Amino acid sequence: MSLAANIPHNLLALAVNQSLDGIVIADALAADMPLIYANAGFEKMTGYSAAEIVGQNCRFLQGKDQNQAAVTVLRDAIRNGENCIVILKNYRKDGTLFWNEFNISPVKNAAGMVTHFIGVQKDVTARVDMLKHLRSSKLELQKVNQQLNVLAMSDGLTGVGNRRYFNEQLQAMFSIAQRTRVPLSILMLDLDYFKRYNDKYGHQAGDDSLIRVGGMIAEAFQRPSDAVCRYGGEEFAVVSVGMSAEELQLHAQQLCDSVRAAEIPHADSPHGVVTISIGGISRVPKSDTTTATLLKLADEALYLAKGMGRNRIGILD
């Protein structure tokens, strides 16, 4: 028995009454377990006077919110004569909502029978609101972070990936290709006579043609296992895993044809319209192959395609 025998009972009553927490006592033997005591802390927290609520079951604080999950926890604890701690939405006398964190404990008589329950209530509205606020700030932050990640990986002008994105994707796809022995393809694509285009039509028109061609490349290579990026200036690059040399050849040729068919005027090109040259490589990386070797080969293929008159593709397998 932990009750200190030398504490006068009126001191105990005063201390309980003056606690900042709400403290109530319910009669466990009476029908519907009515409250028989509520301290000043409870009156202050809820706006009800003790006289008003004595004789009622404490559920009146739940207002119309009596289906909260934690109520089941309470019911079970009461039925089993156990203690429990819950947080519930409760309503003050003036109708305002507050979050009530409270615990109830059984009070047993000398024979071990539960005769009463004592309940201790705390208004934790500020804490719950802060947690809600933190949670929504966290979600907001995650969203901004995702947007930042996308921005950090994309080319500001054309919206396709940037070089950093390309390097990341190249490494990832290279590992997959090496591990699963499927072909890795790299394409280097370049707008033909782009300097002449800029000189003739101005930088704004130059940017516009990069945007249009970038869009066409992205449309041609849009499988989840393709990555398209602007490699620098008027050069784009594509890395793709699991595409055969024949498929690559076909896609590249179609792309080359559709850029020409878009008929973006280019008076200073022998073709009269904007065209692209494409160099590419497709192979299953061997154990001694590196991404640098493959990039170099794709670059050489582009150089060859350019040397052969541009507006064409050159794929090595």
Ligand X SMILES: Cc1cc2nc3c(=O)[nH]c(=O)nc-3n(C[C@H](O)[C@H](O)[C@H](O)COP(=O)(O)O)c2cc1C
Residues lying near ligand X in the complex (CB under 6 A): 24, 26, 33, 57-59, 61-62, 71, 74-75, 78, 88, 90, 100, 102, 104, 117-119, 121
Nearer to ligand X, 26 or 170 (CB): 26
> Angle between the 203-220 and 194-201 helix axes, to the nearest 10 degrees?
140
CB 51 → ligand X: shortest distance, Å? 17
Distance between terminal CA atoms of the chain? Answer: 88
Nearer to ligand X, 117 or 174 (CB): 117
Q: Where are the beta strands (DSSP E) in 155-200?
A: 184-191
Give the number of other CB atoms < 10 A from CB of residue 221: 23
Nearer to ligand X, 55 or 233 (CB): 55
Q: From CA 278, how far away is CA 301, in angstroms rounded? A: 8
Nearer to ligand X, 59 or 212 (CB): 59
Q: From CA 303, how far away is CA 314, in angstroms rounded? A: 9
CB 75 → ligand X: shortest distance, Å? 4
CB 161 → ligand X: shortest distance, Å? 55
3-class SS letters over 255-277: HHHHHHHCCCECCCCCCCECCEE
Position 22, amino acid: G
CB 58 → ligand X: shortest distance, Å? 4
In the bound state, the residue with its beta carbon closest to ligand X is: 119
CB 8 → ligand X: shortest distance, Å? 25
CB 24 → ligand X: shortest distance, Å? 5
Nearer to ligand X, 75 or 164 (CB): 75
Q: Where are the beta strands (DSSP E) in the chain?
A: 22-27, 35-38, 84-91, 97-108, 114-123, 184-191, 226-232, 235-241, 276-283, 313-316
Q: What angle do CA 67, 73, 77 make, to 5 degrees?
A: 135
Nearer to ligand X, 45 or 186 (CB): 45
- For the chain, give the number of residues: 317
Q: What angle do CA 51, 52, 58 make, to 5 degrees?
A: 110
CB 109 → ligand X: shortest distance, Å? 16
Q: From CA 119, how far away is CA 108, in angstroms rounded? A: 14
CB 47 → ligand X: shortest distance, Å? 13
DSSP β-bridge partners for residue 252: none
What does DSSP say about strands 226-232 and 235-241: parallel, antiparallel, or unpaired?
A: antiparallel
Nearer to ligand X, 26 or 188 (CB): 26
Nearer to ligand X, 99 or 201 (CB): 99
